[in-house]
Structure 1
Amino acid sequence: MSSVSRLGLAVKSIDQTAAELLSEWGVGLFLVSSSDVDARSGDLLRCCVFMITSDSPEHWMKQVHEIVEQGGKHCCLSTSWECLVTNSARLSEYLNVLGNILPLDGVLSLALPLTDDSACWELWKRIATSDIKVMLYINSPVEDSTVRSWSMEPIAGIVIDERSFVSVDEIHVLRPEIKSMITEIVRKSNSSIFVNASSGAPSYLGYLEWLLVRGEIKYEPVHLIDPLQPLRDDLDLNIYEVFEKDRTKYHMYKEAIAASLRDMKEKHIKVLIIGPGRGPLVDIVIDEVQQKGLSATLNAVEKNPKCIPLLEDKNKHKWHFKVNILHDDARKLKHHHYDLIISELLGSFGCNELAPEILMPFQHSKSTVFIPQSFENFIRPIFFPEFTKLDATSLERPYLAMPTSYDVMGEYEKVWKYNFPGNNESVRRKEISFSPPVFGKINAFEGCFVANLYQDISIGMLSSLEEGYCNSWYPYLLPVEEDNVAENSLVSFSIERCMADDLAVWYTWEYKKRKYNSNGQYSINLVPLEKVNN
């Protein structure tokens, strides 16, 4: 198969036709009755998902044992709704026993219909464990919210029958609404797709293979990213280029700079730009100073040696030597008075790229205007499927990611705020309570920020911002052990910002009496000044 997702075929038995489909079409998987387990070759057994259709838990055990003895590895429990409801109290126990019968690389799944009926979803949430997956049967369109919810679950496969197709010019194609549903589920879960067709299997499979090869249906993995540490690391220029594509951010900075300059009483002003990168903020300052007929002393301090040649070239050919380019760590500058200090040191959690520590030394003058004037971070509980793959050690650190799907399990709550100028302690602690709106799971807390640039001009990551919503930051994610929570229950969480001997900053967070990153195993390096540019 050339595609990530595998195609499967639901068949009554592995006959000659099925074997030909395996070799000629690369079908990859067969959904077969458990009664057909005997006399299968090893290669075919590895391609089979065995359906167990009995309503008797004792029979489930017997059939799983038989399947495993023959070398099978994937069992799918397909039982009546009445049986599921009747046995719901002990269903998790039964499923755990069945899972323990299978080999370590075995798979146990439960067949359920994709439906808007909340009873099906609630039953699944009560019994779902890390050891069981769901086999979704799609027969008719459902609400987008239903698709989003199920796509975050561990899906073993999607089963569609010939009713999901229509004939167009003698070619079987998926109905648009069904195709949209499958596209969304595969995009987030990388599910296998099974076709249940009484005849004409090559036609259905050929069409689906065409969609997969063209990328119309494809899995889009979520990548966990190590948060940037620009004070420690010298970022590549292409990273700055990506940041600069956020038009909203620079438009709002332009508005804030223009407003601050209008309020300046002095005709000659001193401006400091901290961390100019490739120079977009310098461009804005020079333009606004000229438009308002002001004279200005412009200093731009940049620690990254990769940016200095570009800044010096711009200063020569574009800015006409109007800017003093300083290759240094801003913390080493002598604390002269500045009328305006502009920076874009904000990380995804506001303070996680050490903006407070860099800006604190410049607060000696109460008349200095800072852009941003303040920033505040927020956090909320979520269920993020990618974190189910993390081991215990990997839970002890933060990540950046742009989740394609996640469950929001509480509203954003404020954490802490920094004002410039202001009393900005590095070490802080906050205890927060949340109330999950629905029954579900929590395995992460998602952080973001809002920054007030000047007066009422703000930027940030909250989608509720009428203006100033920016897309150049990814959410800041703090993983925790997976936890089931009840609707409208009280969820307690605490977070602390720690510092050790002015060498490092880190976050410690606590949930369900477990502390994470308590000793700063993952920390943000402050880089001692005696080591800067030495």
Structure 2
Amino acid sequence: MPVAGSPDNLCVGQEVTDIVDMQTTLQEAQRNRFDFVVIPLSRTPAPDLTDAAAHTPSHRLPPYEFIPMAQSDLALESKMWTSAVCGTVSSWIRPDCPHPAYRDRSIVALQRELQWASHLSEYATICPCPELPCANYARIMMPLLLSPLSTQLWVRIPLSVPPVTEGGGDATEGWQLWHQLRMMCGHHSSLCVALEFTDIYGDDDACLDKWLAEPVRAVIIPTDIFVTNAKGFPVLSRRHKAFLMRLFRHRVQVIMRYDRGEEPGSRQMSDEGSMGVSQGQPQGMTMDAYLNYVARLFQSLEPLSQAQMFEQPYLDYLQAPLQPLQDNLESQTYETFEKDPIKYVQYEQALVQCLQDRMAEGKTNPTIMVVGAGRGPLVQASLNALQSAKIEEWTVYAVEKNPNAVITLQSRVRGDPCADWRRVRVVSGDMRQWDTTERADILVSELLGSFGDNELSPECLDGAQRFLKRDGVSIPTRYFSAVAPVSTTKLYNDVKSYKDQEHLETAFVVKLHAFFRISGEEYQPVFEFEHPNWEIPDTHDNKHNRRKTEVSFTARADALLHGFAGYFHCDLYKDVFISILPTHMSEGMFSWFPIFFPLMEPITIKQGDTIRGHFWRLDDAHKVWYEWCVSSPQPSPLHNPGGRSYFIGK
């Protein structure tokens, strides 16, 4: 049964190389606590690859005969084929082999074995590792990918391919093999990876990190990759272990394979973490020892925090950004955001500091205006701050345009357990249109979106600052947006699945999970706004809130650029802030997820390339929108010109 965990369980399978009877094979695997088996699809031997045979015309070779490993589909009930068996295509198959006869035989065998796998409706089929170039391989795979499939297609990809000759040349990243195949297969979402652990060449973990952005469905761990610890037990090297722990969070399955080429446990970890041959270490380790180790690793994962538990349903789930100016939010949406354990604590702290500073300047009897009050959490934070600052004479306004939220505010004035609510003055109306002779000492708002200004905080606060005293304070005082180039196969495929231009030109809110940050720089700032802004021209246009920015990044590894992740940082007051920047994350805060700006076509990036992006914030009388494009290392189309696909209504 699966290894129990929280919130997910881990399924572990065993790869077997030869079977006599399917029922016996499955029963033995279950006794050994494996959840599924991986079996060869065929017994057909590889053709002779001697020089003479390699150049024999295909029609002179003996006829190809497919010999299934399982005698027939009747060997198991269909539910067992679909839930407990994965098939693996013969490793000798090389559709892009330079030898014509071998290549032709490989193409025939690949097609036949995949037909058999589809007939069995196996849970998944593991296809052989491609070689460069892999044009024939892609040509065989595409018809299958374009037809209804009854099995998942996983391609066996090693972490790295060692040099052809010892001491000669460099190792090849397995990612390069995968990248060419998926490009030739049109980024098809049904093509996935079974990632095989091999020795890791080089010290830069970017070669591992990039796999977190790929559709890795299983990890194949051969027993000869294990090392032996001081007590004689099999363990993974530090880098393999850390990488596997990260993959666990991506719901991979594990496939254990006993390799007879090197006795399990025959390598040991040195003090520095390198690998070498041990002397006198226990030999013949049972598979149970390896399974126990993997299970213990999985169960040692840190429990998810409250914020992480909240985020689980939203991982890599595309959401259209909220438009609270154009639309009235629903009660459920308000309730979700009000559960944030960090945001309102930070607002309260900022208010306390601001009130204390103003009191020190002799400014008493403060007037606080909460604009965009919603159902009142910022009003409550204001009341708490007044109490903490020991201020008894005060005035608090709650301004809200949503008539449904106003009902909630009025109800709290009448009956909230906090008696100070009785003194709150509720105003029903748009902050940009409300008129009053009262002037505020502190203007409090929470109009931020995932990209800072994408819920039109600048436009709203420009309209509301007319009733702020000239020496008054806006909370927040400053915020800026930022971007970083990312690779994220999952999100690109999800956006592409809509099969229209509109979604490829829409910025989506998403909790990024399966992604790779391509650059060494965590982010580059894009648009910045400060409040109050007393330099707004005395006109009715919005030109002062338009922006244009160019950002530049250096790629830390070969990768595929799918778009840009967007973030924001907000200074509430002095050193009190809220942020979703990777480097300044407000831990535990879940009110905002990053935003994703997709590219219509992914761009292949080489290590050291300069990635140059361009972003605009534009507007007209009715809407605000973003435009974006890439100019280096190769140009992309301008996305969303004129706000044709995505905009924020005023």
TM tier relative to shorter chain: 0.7 to 0.9
* Identity of matched residues, %: 23
Sort the Cα spacing of 1:272 and 1:515 in 2 relative to 1 into closer, same or farther, 3 A.
same
Aligned residue for 2:516?
407
Q: Aligned partners of 2:394, 2:405: CA distance in 1, in Å? A: 23
Aligned equivalent of 2:128, options 73, 77, 80: 77
CA-to-partner distance for each residue in 1:430-453, whole Å, 9 max, x for gaps?
232222233222111111111222
Aligned equivalent of 2:409, options 283, 287, 311: 311
Q: CA deviation at 1:202?
A: 11
Q: CA deviation at 1:374?
A: 1.9
Aligned equivalent of 2:399, options 283, 291, 301: 301
Quick check: 1:303–1:327 contact (8 Å CA) kept in 2? yes
Letter in 2 for 1:256: A
Aligned residue for 1:515?
638
Greater fraction strand: 1
Q: Aligned partners of 2:592, 2:527: CA distance in 1, in Å? A: 19
CA-to-partner distance for each residue in 1:397-454, whole Å, 9 max, x for gaps?
1112222242212332221211212237343322322222332221111111112222
Aligned residue for 1:226?
320
Aligned equivalent of 1:499, options 619, 624, 628: 619
Quick check: 1:382–1:444 contact (8 Å CA) kept in 2? yes
Q: CA deviation at 1:162?
A: 5.2
Alignment partner of 2:422: what SS? Answer: coil
What TM-score, normalized by structure 2, do the two folds share?
0.66
CA-to-partner distance for each residue in 1:446-491, whole Å, 9 max, x for gaps?
1111122223433222243398995432111111121111223222
Quick check: 1:22–1:28 contact (8 Å CA) kept in 2? no
Aligned residue for 2:579?
460
Aligned equivalent of 1:38, options 61, 67, 70: 67
Aligned residue for 1:386?
490
Aligned equivalent of 2:592, options 473, 483, 506: 473
Aligned residue for 1:529?
none
Letter in 2 for 1:30: I
Structure number with greater Rg is 2
1:48 corresponds to 2:87? yes
CA-to-partner distance for each residue in 1:142-200, whole Å, 9 max, x for gaps?
9976654333333353223456899xxxxx99979778754532532645635448999
Alignment partner of 2:425: what SS? Answer: strand
Aligned equivalent of 2:440, options 324, 327, 338: 338
Alignment of 1:141-156 (within 5 A): 147-155=208-216
Segments of structure 1 that go 5 or more residues without pairing to the other structure are: 167-171, 527-534
Quick check: 2:490–2:514 contact (8 Å CA) kept in 1? no
Q: Aligned partners of 1:307, 1:173: CA distance in 2, in Å? A: 60
Moved more, 109-118 or 477-486: 109-118
1:431 corresponds to 2:540? no
Aligned residue for 1:354?
456
Aligned residue for 1:160?
221
Aligned residue for 1:363?
465
Aligned residue for 2:280?
none
Aligned residue for 2:649?
525
Aligned residue for 1:274?
371
Aligned residue for 1:12?
17
Letter in 1 for 2:373: P
Aligned residue for 1:262?
356
Aligned residue for 1:376?
480
Q: CA deviation at 1:305?
A: 4.2
Q: Aligned partners of 1:299, 1:189: CA distance in 2, in Å? A: 48
Q: Aligned partners of 1:201, 1:395: CA distance in 2, in Å? A: 51
Aligned residue for 1:531?
none
Q: Aligned partners of 1:465, 1:126: CA distance in 2, in Å? A: 33
Aligned residue for 2:380?
283
Quick check: 1:31–1:194 contact (8 Å CA) kept in 2? no
Q: CA deviation at 1:294?
A: 5.3
Alignment of 1:124-139 (within 5 A): 124=177, 127=180, 129-130=182-183, 131=185, 133-138=192-197
Aligned equivalent of 1:418, options 529, 533, 542: 529
Sort the Cα spacing of 1:174 and 1:241 in 2 relative to 1 into closer, same or farther, 3 A.
farther
Q: Aligned partners of 1:513, 1:182: CA distance in 2, in Å? A: 35
Alignment partner of 2:532: what SS? Answer: coil
Q: CA deviation at 1:272?
A: 0.9
Aligned equivalent of 2:423, options 301, 322, 329: 322
What TM-score, normalized by structure 1, do the two folds share?
0.79
Aligned equivalent of 1:112, options 154, 158, 161: 158
Alignment of 1:172-211 (within 5 A): 181-182=243-244, 184-188=246-250, 190-191=252-253, 193=255, 195-196=257-258
Letter in 2 for 1:326: V
Q: Aligned partners of 2:329, 2:237: CA distance in 1, in Å? A: 44
CA-to-partner distance for each residue in 1:345-367, whole Å, 9 max, x for gaps?
11110011111121111233543
Letter in 2 for 1:35: T
Q: CA deviation at 1:271?
A: 1.9
Q: Aligned partners of 1:438, 1:284: CA distance in 2, in Å? A: 45
Q: Aligned partners of 1:327, 1:208: CA distance in 2, in Å? A: 62
Q: Aligned partners of 1:108, 1:247: CA distance in 2, in Å? A: 41
Aligned equivalent of 1:446, options 536, 543, 565: 565
Letter in 2 for 1:153: E
Segments of structure 2 that go 5 or more residues without pairing to the other structure are: 3-7, 46-65, 118-124, 163-169, 186-190, 228-232, 261-283, 305-311, 537-541
Letter in 2 for 1:293: I
CA-to-partner distance for each residue in 1:95-143, whole Å, 9 max, x for gaps?
4345347563484724414799974356447645343654322368999
CA-to-partner distance for each residue in 1:188-239, whole Å, 9 max, x for gaps?
2645635448999997999899999999899986322222222233334444
Alignment partner of 2:552: what SS? Answer: strand
Q: Aligned partners of 1:66, 1:6: CA distance in 2, in Å? A: 30
Aligned equivalent of 2:343, options 236, 239, 249: 249
Alignment partner of 1:403: what SS? Answer: coil
Aligned residue for 1:532?
none
Cα root mean square deviation, aligned: 4.4
Quick check: 1:348–1:476 contact (8 Å CA) kept in 2? yes
Alignment partner of 2:210: what SS? Answer: helix
Letter in 1 for 2:212: S
Q: Aligned partners of 1:287, 1:216: CA distance in 2, in Å? A: 38
Q: Aligned partners of 1:204, 1:151: CA distance in 2, in Å? A: 27
Aligned residue for 2:36?
27
Q: Aligned partners of 1:72, 1:4: CA distance in 2, in Å? A: 30
Sort the Cα spacing of 1:305 and 1:21 in 2 relative to 1 into closer, same or farther, 3 A.
farther
Sort the Cα spacing of 1:5 and 1:50 in 2 relative to 1 into closer, same or farther, 3 A.
farther
Sort the Cα spacing of 1:41 and 1:347 in 2 relative to 1 into closer, same or farther, 3 A.
same
Q: Aligned partners of 2:528, 2:244: CA distance in 1, in Å? A: 43
Q: Aligned partners of 2:554, 2:207: CA distance in 1, in Å? A: 22
Q: Aligned partners of 1:213, 1:485: CA distance in 2, in Å? A: 33
Quick check: 1:10–1:32 contact (8 Å CA) kept in 2? no
Q: Aligned partners of 2:440, 2:607: CA distance in 1, in Å? A: 52
Sort the Cα spacing of 1:141 and 1:243 in 2 relative to 1 into closer, same or farther, 3 A.
farther
Aligned residue for 2:507?
398
Q: CA deviation at 1:524?
A: 2.0
Alignment partner of 2:320: what SS? Answer: coil
Quick check: 1:270–1:340 contact (8 Å CA) kept in 2? yes
Letter in 1 for 2:368: V
Quick check: 1:152–1:188 contact (8 Å CA) kept in 2? no
